[in-house]
Structure 1
Amino acid sequence: MLFTLLAFAVAIGLLVTIHELGHYWIARRCGVHIERFSFGFGKVLAKYTDKRGCEWAFSALPLGGYVMMRNQAPLNATQAEIDASFDNKTVWQRAAITVAGPVANLILAVLIYALIGLVGTQEPAAILGQPAADTPAAYAHVQAGDTVVGVNDKNIASWSQFRWQMLDSLSTGGVVNIQTQDALSNSRTYEIDLPKAQIKPDAPDLLAEAGFRLAMPHAKVQRIIEGGAAEAAGLLAGDVIVGLNDIPEPSANDFVSAVQNLAGQTVQLQILRDGQRLSIDAHVRAEQTPEGEQVGRIGILVGADLPMVTVRYGPLDSVVQGVSRTADTFWLSLKMIARMVTGDVSVKNISGPVSIADYAGQSARIGLASYLHFLALISVSIGLLNLLPIPMLDGGHLLYYAVEVVRGRPLSEKWQNHGRRIGLGILAALMMLAFVNDFVRLFS
């Protein structure tokens, strides 16, 4: 729990601070006086004032921060003080300051994705398993063992990239072209007609429902148990088991289950060792479990031989990939919001702080790369949500500025207040829905 809360605090603290720094930086460029920039909320623990008169505060609750600008000049203000107030700036300057926060979040996402691409990650190769019957993949005669190299002519390097590129098509339906290569590097293109599906948190995996699943990894010998049957038969750590009697290509689970049911028998193992296929006979020893049940043991620790690929790009390509992934995430998220309005995507997908904290903790436990992916995704989400034309959000202010440009003068304070009340009501309803969804997930 403590680890999850820490991962959540770091994520929200970083992303909100970057957002506010975006506002701060452009406000400075536009000559607006900044009265305070606070790291965190609540009681101020420490502070100092810089030479421009901005108070930098460090507060007790480290969940982001805020920037406080001089909105209006005080009474009896000098001309310099009037010029340094936010309300005295042109509509284009005010719009630039407002949009800078969401843009800062999007830039952060680009940098995170670029960093991931530059450092490189180990990911499962996009090798397809046998499609289930009566699925779109089966109707298209997708071949097990093929490696996906492209979706709609966009290059694919790993299984996670394949899942990402398929997400939009799986939800909206329609024809998608998948390019693959077989073990002999022969190219194939499959035209898959996908049905439209509704995205729900508790729905089955849409990719699996379409007939696409990762090829089951072979069983691989991780360790030889001293004095066991495997040692006597000549098995070595690193051997990949590609056959057990008449069972071809057994997975780790299949292998263990089969051996347990063959107590006292001699089995024929087909293995790969240093690229060579070998046949080895091994006697399965019968052993008693603590419950008195007799099971077969062969004397090895078996694991999964999952083919992995290193996804890494050069400096320039990493930035290009970062921009592309951020744009794709932004556009897909925007379409999902639109489809929630039309009812094609369930509002159950809306997550609140409880779910976000849970995702933060889970991704951090998996590893740094996973946590960075989480940060980039949430950063894009914060940028997008703040650009929605809802009063009280940055997008609502931009909407007011757009009306001001068209009318040639700002909306009256009366109508702006009406808009704020509407925006506050919308945000309160969304927050309540998010909390309900969180607790339904928590207790279901």
Structure 2
Amino acid sequence: MEIGSIIGGLWSHGLIYIVPFLFVLTIIVFFHELGHFLIGRLCGINTLAFSVGFGPELIGFTDRSGTRWKLSAIPLGGYVKFLGDENGASIPDRDAVAGMSEEERRHAFPSASVGRRAATVAAGPIANFVLAVVIFSAVVFVNGRVVGDPVVASVEPNSPAAAAGFEPGDTVISAGGETIEYFSDLQRYVASVGANPIKFVVRREGKLVDLTVTPRLETRTDEFGNTITMPLVGLRADNARGGFRVEQPSVIEAVQFGMAQTWFITHQTVGFIGQVLTGRQNADQIGGPIRIAKVSSEVSTIGIGALLNLAALLSISIGILNLLPIPMLDGGHLLFYAFEAVRGRPLSERVQEVGFRIGLALVVLLMIFAFWNDISGQV
């Protein structure tokens, strides 16, 4: 085989991963930083730079307000640099602020009130959640939603559902106290509880029956060859009993669905983080850029709607990650501002400096851990 053909094959294979990855990441980063930018401007804070990516600038322009909008060489994040910031992490440049005129200080980030600074910082993660709602709502409004009635068509032999007494024809009314409207609601709820017991209420021949099922964790391989461990109870549906159909929601219904989906994923992600910290979940599910690139490539083969849904899911994850109370992240800044609001004055420069160093170390360790999971065969 010619060298040119080998290089061409590697390049084409690389593009399969790179293009969907950059598409997803650019959307998420842009809206996150746009949240900071818009609220900062609303609060009267001047912005020096708005960058998608880090490192050397590839292309860019300066708008009439003096903000430099740019696309940078390392596409693994982005930043907004406000007037008075030492860098894109919003660490204040005390010397620069001291040398400013009174007018400049009025529009510098470190000189803004604690409320305006907190609002500007919180706007980034909030924008991630808003983006998720918009994507979920738009996709379901355009494509509709495939739904089926929560009627059991069959029960797998020797499954948790069979042991609990489920029978074909049962209609699931509620699970864990939550009303079940569609079979997909049942699937989603089971996926959220792990191996914990679930109290079901089903309708059988006109009567309500209480059943308790403990899902069994099973490891299966998806259509892309990825190994996934999930809780299963052993209930199946079919079109004959479930009447599967595509429902076309109104705009209001689509937005309601987008908000509900965003809340559900947020709740599940926070719960997963808590379980990892308490040792009840395996941390090997945490992935970095390599895993995101792989998943983006796989999902892109399904269609643009699936890729946008992945972007929404990752946007929620990044919003939650940035709200963790770790210095260097948005949540760490908000923690410092909370102390400032209570004390009536900022924490000392020394304390903040130590905090930022600890935060940087934690972020670097998290990145290394995610990369390790990516390259150790967990993808």
Q: With structure 2 as the length reference, what TM-score do the two structures score?
A: 0.82
- In structure 1, the partner of 2:372 is 436
Bigger shift: 386-395 or 360-369? 360-369
**AA in 1 matched with 2:80:** V
**AA in 1 matched with 2:69:** W
- In structure 2, the partner of 1:372 is 308
Q: 1:239-261 deviations in whole A, cap 9, x for unaligned?
A: xxxxxxxxxxxxxxxxxxxxxxx
Bigger shift: 65-74 or 149-158? 149-158
Match of 1:337 among 246, 265, 273: 273
1:102 deviates by 0.2
- In structure 2, the partner of 1:293 is none
**AA in 2 matched with 1:416:** Q
Larger Cα-atom Rg: 1
Q: Does 1:8 align with 2:33?
A: no
Give the distance between the partners of 1:139 and 1:86, measured in 2 at CA: 62
- In structure 1, the partner of 2:324 is 388
**AA in 1 matched with 2:63:** D
Matches within 5 A, 1:343-354: 343-354=279-290
Give the distance between the partners of 2:103 and 2:219, measured in 1 at CA: 55
1:106 deviates by 0.2
Tell whether the 8 Å contact from 1:400 to 1:410 is kept in structure 2 after alignment.
yes
Structure 1 segments unaligned to the other structure (5+ residues): 219-305
Q: 1:291-318 deviations in whole A, cap 9, x for unaligned?
A: xxxxxxxxxxxxxxx9742143211121
Q: 1:165-189 deviations in whole A, cap 9, x for unaligned?
A: 2222234x1333255689xxx6865
Cα gap change, 1:317/1:123 in structure 2, threshold over 3 Å: closer, same or farther? closer
RMSD after superposition:
2.9
1:427 deviates by 1.8
- In structure 2, the partner of 1:174 is 197
Match of 1:110 among 133, 136, 155: 133
Give the distance between the partners of 2:170 and 2:143, measured in 1 at CA: 24
Q: 1:83-117 deviations in whole A, cap 9, x for unaligned?
A: 00001011111110110000000000011111122
Structure 2 segments unaligned to the other structure (5+ residues): 1-12, 85-92, 221-225
Give the distance between the partners of 2:140 and 2:62, measured in 1 at CA: 39
1:156 deviates by 3.5
1:390 deviates by 1.0
Q: What secondary structure sits across from 1:47 in the alignment?
A: strand
1:62 deviates by 4.6
Q: Does 1:81 align with 2:99?
A: no
Bigger shift: 317-326 or 38-47? 38-47
Cα gap change, 1:371/1:190 in structure 2, threshold over 3 Å: closer, same or farther? farther
Cα gap change, 1:74/1:89 in structure 2, threshold over 3 Å: closer, same or farther? closer
Q: What secondary structure sits across from 1:310 in the alignment?
A: strand
Give the distance between the partners of 1:56 and 1:85, measured in 2 at CA: 18
Cα gap change, 1:31/1:156 in structure 2, threshold over 3 Å: closer, same or farther? same
- In structure 2, the partner of 1:398 is 334
Q: Does 1:194 align with 2:214?
A: yes
Q: Does 1:135 align with 2:148?
A: no
How many residue pairs get matched?
348
Q: Does 1:144 align with 2:157?
A: no
Q: With structure 1 as the length reference, what TM-score do the two structures score?
A: 0.71
Give the distance between the partners of 1:390 and 1:170, measured in 2 at CA: 28
**AA in 1 matched with 2:137:** A
- In structure 2, the partner of 1:205 is 230
Tell whether the 8 Å contact from 2:284 to 2:378 is kept in structure 1 after alignment.
no
Give the distance between the partners of 2:209 and 2:324, measured in 1 at CA: 39
Match of 1:35 among 48, 51, 69: 48
- In structure 2, the partner of 1:23 is 36
Tell whether the 8 Å contact from 1:140 to 1:190 is kept in structure 2 after alignment.
no
